[in-house]
Structure 1
Amino acid sequence: MDDEISNVIAWRQPAALDLRLLMATSKCVTNLERAGDEAWKIATRSRKTDEACAATAMQIAELRNSGEMALT
């Protein structure tokens, strides 16, 4: 996505309004990628806990906290 944004900037020379939109889109892509990485970590950890069938109260509380942080 960043490469495409760079191409638009280089080839089309957008006006100020369009340039602001492109920069905002670039920042959104970065934030979405970060959120996806965190969701992957939470899902992986949840799967490991489920497979072990040994979820202690501490692990469950930790997973709940992770989920709440992901929501915020």
Structure 2
Amino acid sequence: MPEKKRLLTFLKEFADRRISKERSDKIKKVNVVILIIKEVAIFRQHIVTRALNAFHYPACQMQTLNLTTTFIC
């Protein structure tokens, strides 16, 4: 549950930063949403990688393609 709360906090802070940047740079909102999705994917991979390392699977390599993550052990 703490991971979920941290993820939600991270998303809110990231969205706030991206929206304020979007106002100043006039970036389309669609690009902001795509960037947020990519950041969530990276954040989620970090959690999964930490979990794998905790269970002694450091040899697993992560490959990401189109926001789909696969592990090769």
TM-score by length of 1: 0.50
The runs of 4+ residues in structure 1 deviating greater than 6 Å are none
Structure 1 residues 1-72: aligned runs within 5 Å: 1-9=14-22, 11-12=23-24, 14=26, 18-46=28-56, 63=57, 67=60, 70-71=62-63, 72=70
CA shift at 1:45, angstroms?
A: 1.0
* Bigger Rg, which one: 1
**Runs of 5+ unmatched residues, structure 1:** 47-62
With a CA cutoff of 8 Å and minimum separation of 6, indicate the structure with the bigger relative contact order: 1
* Structure with greater helix share of residues: 1
Provide the aligned length of Structure 1 versus Structure 2. Answer: 49
One-letter amino acid of the structure 1 residue matched with residue 16 of structure 2 = D
CA shift at 1:13, angstroms?
A: 7.5
Over aligned residues, Cα RMSD in angstroms?
2.5
Indicate the percent of aligned positions where both proteins have the same amino acid: 6
CA shift at 1:23, angstroms?
A: 1.6
- Tell me, yes or no, if the aligned pair for 2:18 and 2:32 is still in contact at 8 Å: yes
* Structure with greater strand share of residues: 2
CA shift at 1:7, angstroms?
A: 1.5
TM-score by length of 2: 0.50
**Runs of 5+ unmatched residues, structure 2:** 1-13, 64-69
